[in-house]
Amino acid sequence: MEAIKLLAGIGRPPLGRLVHYRALDTSFREIKIKKDANCPLCGENATIKEPVSHTEPSCSMSPVPEISTLELRKILAEGFEGILLDVREQDEYFMSHIEGSQLLPLSGWPEVAANLPKDTKYLVHCAVGMRSARAAEWMLANGFDDVSNVAGGMKQWQMEENST
C-alpha cells in the first residue's frame, strides 16, 4: 500500500520511518530511521546515481551449468561416477530422495561443503532447483571444477515418476 501511495502521490508515505505492525494485538509502532551519511544511495557522497540494468549478467554471478531431471535419469542409468548432492534439509531427504544421493543441507554451508573433494564431478539438486543453484554457484566460486545444477529438483523428479 505504501508503494501505491508513493507512486500515486497521495496520502502520507512513511519516508524515513518504519511502521511495525503487530498482528497479535493489532497494534502499530512507528520507528524513526536516521539517515546514514555513508549510504551509497542517499548519503553525502552517494556512488549509486542511476538504476542498474538487470539484463546484463552480474560479474559476480558465474553461470551455473544445468541439466534436466530427464538428463539426470539418463546419467544415473549409465553409471554416474561422481557425487549426486542433495542440499535439502534432513526432513525433506527422509520424506523422499533419489537413490544414491548424498545429503549435505545448504543450511550447513559453507563449513561442511569446504571439506568435499574438489576433483569430483557433482550433480547438485534440491526441491525445485533454487538452493542447489546457490550451492553450485558457491562450489564453482570456491575451486570445484565440474558442478551442474539439476533444474526442477525433486518436485520435477517426482512429477516424472508419477506420470509414468
Q: What rounded mean pLDDT belongs to the chain?
A: 86
Instruction: State whether 48 and 71 are in the same domain.
Output: no
Decide which of 60 and 26 is more confident.
26
Measured at the CA of 23, the angle between CA 22 and CA 29, to 5 degrees, comes to 20
Instruction: State whether 147 and 99 are in the same domain.
Output: yes
Domain stop point among 40, 58, 76:
58
Handedness of CA 4, 9, 15, 20 (dihedral sign): negative
Decide which of 61 and 7 is more confident.
7
pTM to 2 decimal places:
0.62
Domain stop point among 42, 58, 74:
58
The number of folded domains in the chain is 2
Q: What is the pLDDT of residues 122-139, one digit of tens each?
A: 999 999 999 999 999 999
For 81, the domain range is 66-163
User: Coil, strand or helix: which one is 149?
Assistant: strand
Given a contact cutoff of 8 angstroms between Cβ atoms, the answer to whether 129 and 113 are in contact is: no
Mean pLDDT calculated for residue range 107-117: 89
CATH of the domain at 90: 3.40.250.10
Q: Which residues pair with 103 in a beta bridge?
A: 86
Lookup: cell for 2:
505504501
Q: What pLDDT was estimated at residue 124?
A: 96
Domain stop point among 10, 31, 58:
58
**Band of the pLDDT at 52, cuts 50, 70, 90?**
low
Instruction: State whether 89 and 125 are in the same domain.
Output: yes
Instruction: State whether 44 and 78 are in the same domain.
Output: no
Instruction: State whether 73 and 151 are in the same domain.
Output: yes
User: Coil, strand or helix: which one is 91?
Assistant: helix
Instruction: State whether 50 and 85 are in the same domain.
Output: no
Q: What pLDDT was estimated at residue 56?
A: 45
Given a contact cutoff of 8 angstroms between Cβ atoms, the answer to whether 105 and 94 are in contact is: no
Instruction: State whether 75 and 34 are in the same domain.
Output: no
Given a contact cutoff of 8 angstroms between Cβ atoms, the answer to whether 113 and 104 are in contact is: yes
pLDDT at residue 23 above 80? yes
